[in-house]
Every structure is written in C-alpha cells, then in structure tokens.
Chain A
C-alpha cells in the first residue's frame, strides 16, 4: 500500500484493521436480494439463444454468471446504482449480436482517465448505442492487484461494491497483465472511482498505454519452496519505486516487469516481460539422500504427486532423472545420488520431479533477461539472458538502478511503439551491453555468430579507419 504508513490497513490479524462494514456501499438486504427460484425464472431483457448454449457443459459458465448479475442489478434498482441498472442485460444483448454477426460491437477507445495520470483507464464505447443504451459508455479501469493476488474478503467485498455501484458489476479477475479489472463505467464516474479506490481501499490503479504496465509476480516465498528470491517483496518495491513511470506515459511503448521465483517461470516473465527477473542459485542443489531412496522405492509419488492420473509404472531414477538431465551431470550408484553442480544449468527437472529430496541451493539471487514481447510488430521474441546472477535484497537498489539504465537507453533511442526487444534487435546486443557497461559472455547467445561480418571499432585496429592511399600506392603501384 498504499496510503503511507497504512500497510496493514486491511490486516485481519491487527486489532484496528479496516473492515468491509467501515466502507460498504450496499446493505445486507441489497446483497442477498434474490432467491434461486427467481433466478431460475429470470428472463433478461434480451433473448440470447446463442449465448444460452454456453450455459451448458461443466466448465463455469460466464453467461450464467452474467445473468445472475443482471438479476441482482434489477433487484437492487436504479435508485441504488450510478451506472444503468440494465448494463449487464445490454452487455448480454450486444454479445449475442456479435454471436449472430461474427463481429465485435465495441468501438475504438477514446482517451479518458483521471487527472494527473495518463494510464489505468481504457475508454470503451458501443457502436450500437440505440439498441444497447446501458452499455453505450463502458470503460475499463485497471486496478493494481496486490502481490501474488492475495486478498481478504473485507477488501474484496469493498472492491465489489465500487464495481457494482459505479460500474457494471462485471470484472476480470484478472486481466492478462495481472490487474483487477473493473468493466463498464462512464467518464463521469472515473474520478469518483479513483477517489474511492485510493481513499477507502488504499489502492492505486494500474498501467496502460506507453508506460510501465502493472508488474506481477509469482507466489514465491509465500508458499513455494523453489523461490530463489522474495518475488512479492521485490515486485512491490519496484512497483513503488516506478510509480511515476507506471502512471505517466513517457516511454516509446509499453514496458513490463515480471518476477518469477525460479526457472519454472509460472508468471511467464521470460516470454511476456521486457525485463524478466527470474530466480536462480549459484551453489549446489541440496540433496536429501534418504528421500531420494524413498522415491526410488516408490514411497513418494514423482513430480509432487502431479502425475498420478495415469499409470506411468514404478519410478525409475535412471531413465526419469539421470538420463533426462540435459547436461548429464548427475549420477546414481544404486544408493547415492550425486550431482556435478558446476555443469548444472538449473533447469529444475530433477527438483520438480523429486521435490521432497532435492532443493534449490542456498546461495540464491536472480537472473535478468531483457526484451520479450508478443508478435506485434516484429514477431514474437523471448527475453535475452543479460545478467546471469545478481543478489536481490531489499530494497533492491541495484535492480532499480539497472532498470533505469535500460529504460533511459530505450527512451533515448526507441522509436514510437518500439518495444525494448525490438530496439535490441535493431541496435544489436553489443550496443545494449555497451550502454549497460557489461562485458560480453557466451551465455548471452545460443551459439556464436556464423557470419563473420564483425563491425570492428576504429580503436581496435591500429591506425584506425583513416586510410592513406598514397602510402598504400607507395607499396602497390597501379
């Protein structure tokens, strides 16, 4: 958080914590205001025969859920809502129309926002406003989610009240980048929502446009033994340190930080962030030999019990671990497992497969990889290993300084809508490392270049690039 000095505003374990009742908008009678029977017989405003087909089948139906919200809004009544009561009815209607016609009915966004910020709100308008007036204006507000998406119900219920009172009552939990997303508000309600969020929830909005997008992290040390650094702490500290960049677009295009605690990459930082912080270690994998024997004796299920749905036969340490190891740096002599850690590339396979016997090392930190992005424009790119290891300790000053160096270069050299990875592509990895003051290392490449077109620098060549044709001709007459 949040409001300075109120980091425990909502903490249930604290005596004076804020409760839903302190800030709620709706009374209990407004919340449980319909019966199952009413829901069964409820007819939304528009017939939706195609969407109704999506109520069938076992996976949770968003259509059933939208109908429930439509009924709830109707029962709450327009007097208790600032956004049209029929917003969800009309949403169902406009989506049904798209199902009939095979084309979207949402218009290109307009520029809307809150004062002093240039991001966090996306304007959205319907192109069938006569038919669906309740969703004519249907803006999105991105709300910066707490680390690892932890919540308590006081906070969530308060969030729900804002979403329903000043919005359509429909959310994305969560948007692709990680924000809690409120759908369906109007321009008039943006400032009131922002004030409610900052004053009562103690929570800011997220990023959009050409700014730092809302950073996200894995569950990390909160509940994972693989976490090599404090992903939650670092994500939070970095988000706070880069608030200006997050709210006020000053970049060539979007920029993403993502924080993965280990090379399993649960938040996909390696594929989805301009700057990926991925946990790693530089000492030895910890081995519990007794537990290894227990795996060999089939007393512990392989892969943390995640493969029990099929019959894969008895665990065979040789074929499943030793032979699969990508660098063949492991040995099993029938009693003891040994690892040549210098040759280990920390792929996580053996640890994932035997989590009760093997653990990541104790001397941990993170690798930094730069430049990932989805295909628009120059094709998809994965991020490039740039810094092999860095300790990551609160308050993460070295990572902040590194990030600013990278961003300064990108702001200076990047073209409009050019992602960091595209800039690296255009200017070359060698330029990037020169700017960052890093020496080259073979770990930056899959293999060295196969073309010999090296652009040497003038000062690498005795005499530089200035040529003297007379001197040349003195040795080589025409």
Chain B
C-alpha cells in the first residue's frame, strides 16, 4: 500500500483510478481447505468439550473448530496476535462468529487441542484472559453489544465496560454448558438498539429518563424543524418562535418517552444526563424457532443506575435471573418459555425482582399484554393488591 499521505488518491483528479461497487472480498478464498472440500456435505456435529466442536461430513472428513470469546472492541495488536496463532496452527485461516467469538478450524484434532491449550494460556498484563475458549452449546456465550461511551453520540450508558463487568460475573458459564437451553445476553446502549437486543433471553438496554435539553440556537441554525417535529412518535414536539424571533421547538415533557429519535434528526436536542441515564433489563426473548416461536424480550427491571466502573446492581440482577433460571427451568426450556410456564408472577418471585407500575405497558397495543383471565398464581404481589383493595 502507499505510504503517501493521500495514498493512491489524487485530490486534483478524484475520479482517476477509482474503483467502486466491488462488494466484499469473496468468502471462497478464505475458507480452510477442509471446509471447501466438504462444502454443503456436512452430516452432523458434536461439541467435544466447551469451546471445541467437531463437524463430520458425508465422507467422514472431520473439521475441528476451537471457539474463543472476544470483546468486539479490538485493537489491531489483538487481531495481529490472533493472526500469529492462526499462522501457527491453522495455516492462516480464522473466522469470526455472529456473536463476536472467534473460531480456528483445522482437520486435526490434536492440533485443535494444542491450540485450545495455547489460547487459554494467554493473558493480558492486567490479568484477564486474552482468548478464553468456550461459548458453545448451552453455555452463556459472548454478550453482543454496541459502542457506548467509546464512540457513540446517543448512549445512555457504556457498552464495553458494562458488558465486561457482566461477562466477568458470567464467566464460568461461558466455560461450561450447564444451562437448560441456550441463554443469550445482549446489550444496547440506547433505544436505537443497533444491537437489536429486543429478542434476547436477557437484554441490557441503556435508557434515558429525561426529555431532551433544548439548545434553541442549535435547533434554529442546524436542524430541519419540520423533520424534527415529524420525528417524534408521540407528537410531543412543536415548532415555536422565541421572543427574540428565533425559530426553535418546544417539547411536551408529559408525552416524551425519551426515545432520542429527535436527537438523531437534530443535534440541538441532546438527551444524555448523568442522573437521568441508566440501564433497563429485559428478559425472555428468543430468535430461534425451536419449540416455541421467536419472541420479544419483556421489560423486567425498568431502570438501574449507571454505577461506574462496574455496574454492581446490573451485574447482581443479571446474576439473580440467570441462577433462578438455571435452578428451575426444565431442559430445552428457554428463559422466556420458562417464565411463561411458571407464569410471569412466579418469574418475578423466583428472580427476586420488584414489580412496579413501570412494567405495565402503556404504549400502542398495550391491551394485548393485559391478563384477561382468572388464571393466575398467588404471590406476595397478589396479596399486596388484595390488601390495598380492602379485600383482606
């Protein structure tokens, strides 16, 4: 590559030599030979131990995959070390999974086992593992997440740090496969959800609790006011002209649900606020069609504070949910299926979670979530209502 400041680009002739619309590099050139040879001919698989998979083809060929967890924020130094390992054991082939894990694939079992040992032996100076193997089968695999304070303009919390704290707590379950079914934890640092955590067994969601601050000057100068008004899903934004004649907007704070959609359209309406921002926890979603249909995660904790640097309240709450599930669910039962079988009232009881009015839906189609049946279980929450109603 060129080391010139502007490389191959000549600003005087910007079109010269420009290559466009070439798409991604073709995957075929990056597949290890064992996978090319057996492409489309795989017959079965077996997880030999946490972090080590064996796939068997129609011809009896075997591919061994070693999986390790990676933070998705990664320096080139980290990638280069992964490359060194790939060169040493796998002839330079390596792949990433959808959940930010990394896999080395080889046709030799002893190579895979040596590789696995090597990976587990490497640590950062600070003491954490660089390449912990695991994340297979019914483990709690890597927590996918978003950018947070490292790089994003709308977060209500950090992503990498919160995930690190939770993943430390769940680490043993990354290394073992004791869960009744897969348990997917995901994290998104605001409602935009570039992490699309809305269908995870446990979702951590950065959440703002205050309406935007209005920077009249910036709204007037830098924003398309009609677009800002139209951006609000609850019609809470109105265009106004200030006493000084400046065009800006007002926000009906009663209507605002702090979604940040207006801020996406207009930099003059920032939401971030130290006291307002925190983390909501959702649970019981899934993506797979296995047994039950895919389902959304439900809000089970409306808000917990941002407690930097290690978010002890979030970590503790996730831990409680995981342990209650691991102890009580039947095999093959996803967290959401478990909650539905025992009843959500029992879910809150077993997980030791508060239930407050915040968890009663009041957005569109809320009525669909109301219980219109006499089928319920008695828990402390129920007795409290009976007492309050003067019935006991």
Contact = CB atoms under 8 A, between A and B. Distances in A.
A355 B43 CA distance: 8
Given A23-B1, A54-B165, A64-B124, A306 B331 contact: no
Contact of A271 (B7, B124, B261, B294): B294
Contacts of A60: 69-71, 124, 128-132
B263 interface: yes
B331 A53 contact: no
A282 interface: no
A149 B99 CA distance: 11
Interface string B271-290: 01111010000000001111
A464 to B, nearest CB: 34
Interface string A368-379: 000000111111
A149 B96 contact: yes
A230 to B, nearest CB: 7
Nearest to B11: A191
Nearest to A369: B294
Given A60-B129, A195-B8, A2 B46 contact: no
B40 A104 contact: no
A73 to B, nearest CB: 9
Interface in B41-80: 42-48, 50, 55, 63, 65, 69-80
Nearest to A101: B274
Q: Is chain B's binding surface mostly helix, strand, loop or mixed?
A: loop
Interface in A306-334: 306-310, 312, 320, 324, 326
Contacts of B20: 116-117, 198, 204, 247
Interface in B16-52: 17-31, 33, 35-36, 39-40, 42-48, 50
Contact of A198 (B19, B55, B176, B196): B19
Contacts of B152: 104, 106
Contacts of B363: 379
B26 A171 contact: no
Contacts of A416: 227, 230
A150 B27 contact: yes
A94 B161 CA distance: 14
A11 B364 CA distance: 52
Q: Using C-beta atoms within 8 Å of the partner chain, give the interface range for chain B.
A: 35 or more
Nearest to B285: A271
Nearest to A117: B20
Given A59-B167, A174-B96, A247-B21, A109 B153 contact: yes
A463 to B, nearest CB: 37
Contact of B158 (A57, A98, A169): A98
Interface in A36-90: 36, 39-40, 50-69, 72, 82, 88
A286 to B, nearest CB: 10
Contact of B24 (A2, A54, A100): A2
B392 interface: no
A312 B233 CA distance: 48
Nearest to B270: A108
B171 A10 contact: no
Contact of A303 (B42, B78, B125, B137): B137
Contacts of B308: 50, 99-100, 102
A225 B23 contact: no
Interface string A341-364: 000001111001101100100000
B42 A312 contact: no
Contacts of A146: 24-27, 30
B364 A348 contact: no
B318 to A, nearest CB: 13
A216 B150 CA distance: 24
B309 A2 contact: no
Given A124-B153, A149-B97, A216-B98, A12 B91 contact: yes
A306 B76 contact: no
B52 to A, nearest CB: 10
A221 B39 contact: yes
A3 B18 CA distance: 12
B28 A8 contact: yes
Contact of A65 (B19, B75, B310): B75
B158 A3 contact: no
Interface stretch (A259-267, A397-405, A467-475): A259-267
Interface residues of A, number: 172
Contacts of B272: 103-104
A475 to B, nearest CB: 42
Contacts of B176: 309
Interface in A381-440: 382, 416-417
A56 B150 CA distance: 19
Contacts of B124: 55, 60-61, 64-65, 68
Given A301-B46, A349-B332, A417-B231, A145 B14 contact: no
B150 A377 contact: no
B95 A59 contact: no
Interface string A443-472: 000000000000000000000000000000
B112 to A, nearest CB: 14
Given A9-B29, A61-B124, A271-B196, A72 B77 contact: yes
Contacts of A192: 2, 4-9
A225 B55 contact: yes
Contacts of A151: 30, 93-96
A55 B77 contact: no
Contacts of A103: 272-274, 277
Given A54-B164, A63-B126, A203-B22, A176 B45 contact: no
Nearest to B85: A153
A136 interface: no
Interface centre among A102, A162, A417 (most CB of B within 10 A): A102
Contacts of A31: 80
A377 B33 contact: no
B271 to A, nearest CB: 10
Contacts of B180: 310
Contact of A1 (B14, B26, B154): B26
Nearest to B50: A309
Interface stretch (B138-146, B246-254, B339-347, B375-383): B138-146
A244 B199 contact: no
Interface string A104-125: 1111110000011100000010
Contact of A374 (B33, B97, B198): B198
B193 A374 contact: yes
A211 interface: no
Given A7-B26, A149-B96, A58 B129 contact: yes
B29 A11 contact: yes
Given A56-B128, A196-B1, 6 more contacts: A57-B165, A58-B132, A155-B25, A156-B79, A270-B199, A380-B198
19 contacts: A1-B25, A7-B26, A8-B29, A25-B1, A39-B125, A54-B309, A58-B168, A59-B69, A61-B164, A103-B273, A116-B20, A146-B25, A152-B93, A158-B1, A223-B65, A223-B105, A263-B288, A308-B47, A380-B296
